[in-house]
Structure 1
Amino acid sequence: MRLLSVAITPVRLIAVEENSVALKLESAQMTRRQWLGQVTLPAVGAALGAGILGEKTMFAAPKAAAVNDLGARVYNVRAFGAKGDGVALDTAALQAAIDACTKDGGGTVLVPAGTFVVGTVELKSNVTLRIAAGAKVLGSSDGKQYHAVDAIPLHGDSTLEDGNWALFFAVNAKNVTVEGPGTIDGQGGQFHSVVRGTPPPSGIGGNKRPYQILVYRCEDFVVRDLSLLDCAYHSIRVIQSKRVHMDGLYIHDRVNSNNDGFHFISAEYVTVTNCTVLSQDDACALFGSCRFVTVTNCVFSTRWSVFRFGGGVAENITVSNCILYEVYGCPIKFHGRPGTRYENMSFSNLVLKDVTGPIHISMGPSAKRVPGVSGTQTQANPEPEPADPSNPAIVRNISFSNIHGTVTTDPPQLRDATFTSNYNMGERRSCIALSAVGGSIIENVSFDNVHLTFGGGGTAEDAARRSLPQIAGEYFMLGPMPAYGLYARNSRGITLNNVRFQVATPDLRPALIFDHVEDAAISALSVQGNASAESVMRFTAARDVLFTGTRVLTPSPAFLQLEGAENECITIDGGDLSRSSAVLAFKDGAVASSVKLRQ
């Protein structure tokens, strides 16, 4: 057989970056054996192919590839010096990978299998931080590895600033994604003082504790398919940002105080879907002016609130298809000072299991601060702050529908929290509450297909409470509630349809109290009474109220007790009130002419 001689242009291999090579022509001649010993097989294939197609083609292909993959490259943090051994500090390597990625127009920064210890890291535009399934980003337990983000101003008043320290942060960035399926572990217990007044193991605490992810004035920020564990402060805190999406997250933070899950401040176009949040503090706080927010298909549990609204103008928000269990701090809580407005919100298809609260809307001046007394502590006879009639707090157009569950009177400690917390007496015997003071407005609030079983245990002393503090604030600050089902004062446009209130143990409180309520429609309401109580319901200065199809489920002395001369235009149309010894009772100048019976 005759061998065909092939002339090959000599080349030298030059490394450009991981997984890529370039071929450079050399003027010197070398043998085939020498050449083959200096190149890899892929390079041989490229060179032979180029020889067949021509010298021009050999140069054009690599050059085009180097340009066309900008924004789509993968930057493995190990290539930048990360060790991933759980001991070495990998902050600089991770930051270098992010910096290179954003400089090249974006792409993916890959954290592969391993445990990578880091301190404060900045996320930047057009970067996807992917934490592989076998990877864990471990927040350093050394407080010196974190720093304040000076570009993010502190939020809150002078006595309670929220801090601007973080494990990961982004400022004025666009198109940022943090994704799993790996884990971010904040080692938050290292930032909690074992003995009050002493430094925590990390050396920093209070408002210098790092959030896991802190976002400020960003657009198109996504966190998905990730486990976020043991944060030192809030797990995800988003401030003044737009188009924010949280999906498929598992958040477990119960190792420190103020362990919020999500904390949004004046964020717009936000979606939270398919998440499980087990937190110590607010599971999904919405402070400031949050707009266009949807939360769906999630599970929440916390020692405090799940959906908490505080300040600003929040509107156009829906919550649906969620389970809220072991929520010992009121699942849905609104608190608004003068100037606050909450409007156009819907809460639907919710299961509540073992909660306190369960819904609290409190609008108006808060209690004046008392030196040495925390804002979450109950004060004896609290004095309200000055009201501002020209700028009232407003709640309107809020609906609650398809909500079923149980409300407990004995909230225990969270089963998997690493430290204990105390309870206020007002947290034990709670109810749905709508309370407006200081000229504030609550109007057009509806409850449709709401079935709740309350723990009961209300005493005659609880039921006798007629004058509650004229303050807005935490749901327990009004003290043990005088009703076991619904208490409303200074409200209008209240609708109840197919609502059922029951108690697990005997309760001497009315199921429903209206105090200065007007324009209310109550249809198909089923409630339990108590033979030793005064009445099933109690009205003071109620006007334009219509009952239709009401049922009293257990014996009681009276269905409705009217108190005072200001009640008027109350109609009771049909229903089954036969288990009440009397339909009406009158007290403190109330008159029979204020009620019309249509049996």
Structure 2
Amino acid sequence: MKSYDVVAFGAVGDGIVPATHSFQQTIDACAAEGGGMVFVPAGRYLIGTIYLRSYISLVLDAGAVLLASTDRQHYEMVNVYQRTGNPTAYPGNICAIGVSGVTISGRGRLDGQDQSFWIAKEGAGNSSESTLIAYWPKDWRPMSLLFEHCEDVLIEGITISHSSVYAGWLIDCNRVNINGVTISNDLRGPNTDGFHLSSCRYVTIANSHFQTGDDAIAIDANGTQAASYMTITNCTFHTSVNCFRIYTGLDPWITERVYSLVSQIVISNCSVSEAAGFINLTAEDGEIAGVVVTGITLRMNIEGVPFFLMTNRGSIRRISISQVIAEANGVCTVVGQPGDCIEQVQIAQSQFEITPRKKKYGLGIPEDITGYAYHHFAPYHIYIRHVKSIGFHQVRVRWTDNALPDCWSLLQAEHIEQLVLHRVQGAAYGGNADVPVIALHQAGEVEVAGMKVDAAATVFIRLTGDQAERTRLRLTDNHLELIATEVQSDFRK
């Protein structure tokens, strides 16, 4: 492989002299010879927008820092989403459009100079439990990486730090491998996400660490193809929002609504030291299907809920969550809209230790969902609404204290067609024994087997709604020694 040194083309690594032109000359000279390695030795290189070409391997030596210029004149607006009905544009540092066989690797670093592109808020506070953003964005800020319509992409070993917005935005890219990458962004910066993967396919992310002030990894299908066939494994997270947001719709520049698909996503063997949620699935004008999450350890002090699933004119199907050990202030929330479809959701072999903290919708989310940030305020317990089928198998929920004055059921479900609870353990929260362990409103078919209740309660299952008399309830082998009444029905709406 031929090697081209950016210094030989005039790049100065003092962090002061602009190096954009020298970098682009080096890349273009390498591409003109059919590709090869563009080498960046130790130093601080001030760059604006540079474009990678096909079969270019950009290698950052240890000690090499690519410093984002703060001069607007050093950037180009990169037009993206032009093949959709929702075109937009954004400035970027390292860009690749319609190329193949590109690599960014090495032990060097991209530094986005984040605070140069922000304005500090007044009175934002410093509480680790707050999800408030401490800065306003200025009128422009560059993506550290911005790729569209690329194939065979490798990003390996590098660190991306102090991003002013996303660390990386990849759109309609195929065969992407991200390995051993470190994202180190401000936890209280605006939109300081890790990687956004928009309509990408055949993606692997492994052995990487994410510190972000927004979603660490976002997956959507708002480009020209479905987002599918992704594996994320052996990663660690520290974020003030979600480790994963998987969604259709939602993006603010979308004016033409298109029904899109995200499918075949596997997330495994990950550890979380802080987050407001592990995974947020939001299907707006689209479908999310075939998502597997397994082998997760999770600690959350920020208000939120580990698992949040929501539809708005969309569908969520075939979701499997298993082998999770979580310390948080909520269990999971699954809410649809009337007429939507949420089905075949399974949570299994998991333990939740919940320390409730007062939050806006701790007891239930309003029916009229007008935004997608409800996961921050989602209920403490297992909360389900407008769901076709969901099951919990070998799941334990333990409340660590009774500090809040409110009381609530272990599980609350409204407008649910099929619910299965198999070997679930837990109890209602608070000192009011009259609160049922399970509260069901307008329920269809319910199976509860091998359940163990940890605290005394007057009622095990309370059925309400005008369909209560038609609920098909099957109870077998449950441990109800602390329960006075097994089932109580109220046929009123």
- Measured after TM superposition, the shift of residue 363 of structure 1 is 0.5
Q: Distance in 2 between matches of 1:294 and 1:486?
A: 27
Residue from 279, 284, 302 that aligns with 1:332? 279
Counterpart position of 1:278? 211
User: Superposed, which structure 2 residues align to 1:158-237 within 5 Å?
Assistant: 163-194=89-120, 206=138, 208-237=140-169
TM-score (norm. length: structure 2): 0.87
Pair 280,156 (structure 1): closer, same or farther in 2 beyond 3 Å: farther
Aligned residue type for 2:94: F
Q: Distance in 2 between matches of 1:135 and 1:83?
A: 12
Q: Which has the larger radius of gyration?
A: 1
Pair 498,89 (structure 1): closer, same or farther in 2 beyond 3 Å: same
User: 1:364 touches 1:439 (CA, 8 Å); kept in 2?
Assistant: no
Q: Distance in 2 between matches of 1:531 and 1:185?
A: 52
- Measured after TM superposition, the shift of residue 434 of structure 1 is 1.2
What is the aligned-residue identity percentage?
26
Counterpart position of 2:408? 509
Counterpart position of 1:136? 65
Counterpart position of 1:487? 383
User: Superposed, which structure 2 residues align to 1:333-348 within 5 Å?
Assistant: 333-338=280-285, 340-348=286-294
Q: Distance in 1 between matches of 2:384 and 2:162?
A: 39
Pair 472,448 (structure 1): closer, same or farther in 2 beyond 3 Å: farther
Pair 326,337 (structure 1): closer, same or farther in 2 beyond 3 Å: same
Report the structure, 1 or 2, having the larger strand content. Answer: 2
Residue from 52, 55, 64 that aligns with 1:126? 55
Pair 500,151 (structure 1): closer, same or farther in 2 beyond 3 Å: closer
Counterpart position of 1:261? 194
SS in 2 for 1:208: coil
Do structure 1's residue 440 and structure 2's residue 340 form an aligned pair?
yes
Aligned residue type for 2:93: L
SS in 2 for 1:99: helix
Do structure 1's residue 350 and structure 2's residue 287 form an aligned pair?
no
SS in 2 for 1:149: strand
Residue from 321, 342, 356 that aligns with 2:269? 321
Residue from 311, 318, 324 that aligns with 1:363? 311
Do structure 1's residue 496 and structure 2's residue 392 form an aligned pair?
yes
Pair 86,458 (structure 1): closer, same or farther in 2 beyond 3 Å: closer
Do structure 1's residue 399 and structure 2's residue 320 form an aligned pair?
yes
Residue from 35, 40, 43 that aligns with 1:111? 40
Greater than 4 Å deviation, 4+ residue runs: 154-158, 204-207, 477-480
Q: Distance in 2 between matches of 1:183 and 1:226?
A: 6
Aligned residue type for 2:115: G
Do structure 1's residue 81 and structure 2's residue 29 form an aligned pair?
no
User: 1:242 touches 1:268 (CA, 8 Å); kept in 2?
Assistant: yes
Q: Distance in 2 between matches of 1:402 and 1:302?
A: 21
Greater length-normalized contact order (CA 8 Å, ≥ 6 residues apart): 2
SS in 2 for 1:400: strand
- Measured after TM superposition, the shift of residue 456 of structure 1 is 2.6
Give RMSD over aligned pairs. Answer: 2.4
Do structure 1's residue 474 and structure 2's residue 372 form an aligned pair?
yes
- Measured after TM superposition, the shift of residue 586 of structure 1 is 2.8
Pair 503,305 (structure 1): closer, same or farther in 2 beyond 3 Å: same
Report the structure, 1 or 2, having the larger helix content. Answer: 1
Do structure 1's residue 452 and structure 2's residue 389 form an aligned pair?
no
Q: Distance in 1 between matches of 2:371 and 2:265?
A: 22
Aligned residue type for 2:11: A
Aligned residue type for 2:117: F
Do structure 1's residue 528 and structure 2's residue 427 form an aligned pair?
yes
Q: How many residues of Structure 1 are paired with residues of Structure 2 in the alignment?
A: 454
- Measured after TM superposition, the shift of residue 269 of structure 1 is 0.5
Which region of structure 1 is more displaced relative to structure 2, 554-563 or 120-129? 554-563
Aligned residue type for 2:484: S
User: 1:436 touches 1:472 (CA, 8 Å); kept in 2?
Assistant: no
* Cα distance per residue 1:81-130 (max 9 Å; x no partner): 11212221111111111001111011100001111111111111100000
Which region of structure 1 is more displaced relative to structure 2, 236-245 or 206-215? 206-215
SS in 2 for 1:539: strand
